[in-house]
Amino acid sequence: MSNVHNMVMFSLVMSMIGTMIGAFIGVQTGTKTSSKKFLGYVTAIACGIMISISIFELIPEAYKDLGGINTLIFLLFGMGVIYIGNKIAESFNGNKHKRVAFMVGLSLALHNFPEGLVVGLGFASGATLALKMSIIIMLHDIPEGVAVASPLKFSDESNWKIYFYALVTGLPAVLGTLIGLRVGSISPMILAISLALAGGVMMYVSLGQMYFEAKEACGGKYSFLYTLVGIGIGLFMVLAF
């Protein structure tokens, strides 16, 4: 039990490190072109890793207990949840403050919470998946930290408040990890369903959002190349652990 506790704490610390690195970059560079390109590179690599883990790890694990049709159903359902959430967020175009508030809450719920959930599920099914997800979360949270810090910096917020707000964005991962641990200990079938849902979330976020964000930040050529690098890293992680 102590070992599990230590591994959970490690994964959460990794998440916080990524967010704080991103916040530091946002505070120091603001919206300079160099920081935008760097954000694009990191986003593309994280995108590729998420694609690899989804295709070569999460989906095959779910397939073992669910079979092909059920895995596909829950995979698409996970994608659908994210898609609907994004559409709801777009409905707040008329009120900037409401939209910003909703998007912040939505991003926390749909990004950090599922990430923590997969870490918890990873511990339930084996520590290696959790370690892989911890690295992914750290990379994924770097651009998130930049995204939080940059606009706050231009709003003349103090640096310590910016770091505090960035730190708070990682807290939903705690709840996700705890729930993932609990769910994974209930039933192999529930674990498989949860992994399929998480795979759908990660596939939509990576291919439907992160890749295009990277493309906008660093151009189509570099976003594609760095995504391939990320896929290679992710595949290495799957095969090596």
Cβ neighbours for 30, distance < 8 A, ≥ 6 positions apart = 150, 153, 154
pLDDT of residue 69: 95
Tell me the per-residue pLDDT of 69-95, one tens digit each, with 9 for 90 and over.
999 999 999 899 878 877 776 665 554
DSSP 37-105: HHHHHHHHHHHHHHHHHIIIIIHHHHHHHHHHHHHHHHHHHHHHHHHHHHHHHHTTTT-HHHHHHHHHH
pLDDT of residue 97: 40
Tell me the per-residue pLDDT of 193-226, one tens digit each, with 9 for 90 and over.
878 888 888 888 788 878 888 898 888 899 999 9
Confidence of residue 101 (pLDDT cuts 50, 70, 90): very low
pLDDT of residue 58: 84
At CA 204, angle to CA 198 and CA 207, rounded to 5? Answer: 130
Q: Where are the domains of the chain?
A: 2-240
Tell me the per-residue pLDDT of 129-148, one tens digit each, with 9 for 90 and over.
666 667 777 776 776 677 66
Q: pTM above the 0.85 mark?
A: no
